[in-house]
Amino acid sequence: MVKCSNCGAELREYYEYCLKCNAYNSLSESEVVKFCIQCGMENLEIRPFTAEDVDFIIYGQLELYEKEYGFTSDIWKGYIKDGVHELVNKFDNEKDCIYILEHHGVPSGCSAIKHVDEMTAQFRFLFLDSKIRGLGLGRKLLDMSIDFCKENEYKRVFLWTFSTLQAARYLYKNKGFTITETKENNEWGTPILEELGEIDL
């Protein structure tokens, strides 16, 4: 379990305090949350997943991608549900990992590593609640996942993303992933260009 910050005050109490201050009256709740986190006023933890997290991993992604990218098709929903269940049902503690990021005790982010063979792993299911983006937490999840791969002596990691996921693509490029293949996808509810990213460890 990784503690991203320590907090002596409850977020809600601090948020209400901020709203009483004229300096913060113009801030949205999301902006105040980010301010609290940056000032170390909120607990963030990254922990291994449990069976209770499965619905969050599935429906957190379905809700996010429907809202932000218009992915609504049954093919998309099956892709996410089947992918998560396959990973969980075949989960090997020595070869696979799923990290859950908790914000104020509530699951709010995820990343996963799925073993493909002895030398190859796939990075999957990176997503964050919109309120806690822009704070380096996606990078932290990615770093922890790649460190897991190195510790388990994988030689290659790949991932699938798509061209309009600009923030994620920036993370992957900075980590050393190279786009090696692209393909058009019209099956998820909105046309996208899928991208295969690969890195040698």
Q: pLDDT value at position 18?
A: 53
* One domain for residues 48 and 38: no
Residue among 62, 108, 107 nearest 84 (CA): 62
* One domain for residues 142 and 157: yes
CA–CA separation, 41 and 136 (whole Å): 16
Task: List beta partners, residue 12.
Answer: none
Total domains, the chain: 2
* One domain for residues 135 and 77: yes
Q: Which two tokens stand for residue 156?
A: 């290659």
Q: pLDDT value at position 1?
A: 53
Task: Return averaged pLDDT per consecutive 10 residues of the chain, 201 residues in all.
Answer: 46 52 52 54 82 97 96 98 97 96 92 97 96 86 96 97 93 96 97 97 97
* One domain for residues 27 and 114: no
- CA angle (177, 66, 140) in 5-degree steps: 35
* One domain for residues 90 and 140: yes
In degrees and rounded to multiples of 5, residue 200 shows phi and psi of: -95, 135
Q: pLDDT value at position 131?
A: 83
* One domain for residues 31 and 58: no
* One domain for residues 74 and 162: yes
Q: pLDDT value at position 42?
A: 58
Domain with 36 in it: 1-42
* One domain for residues 73 and 169: yes
* One domain for residues 100 and 16: no
* One domain for residues 49 and 32: no
Q: What is the CATH number of the domain that holds 191?
A: 3.40.630.30
Q: pLDDT value at position 32?
A: 54
Q: pLDDT value at position 176?
A: 97
* One domain for residues 149 and 91: yes
* One domain for residues 87 and 15: no
Residue type at 122 in one-letter notation: Q
Q: pLDDT value at position 19?
A: 52
Q: pLDDT value at position 70?
A: 96
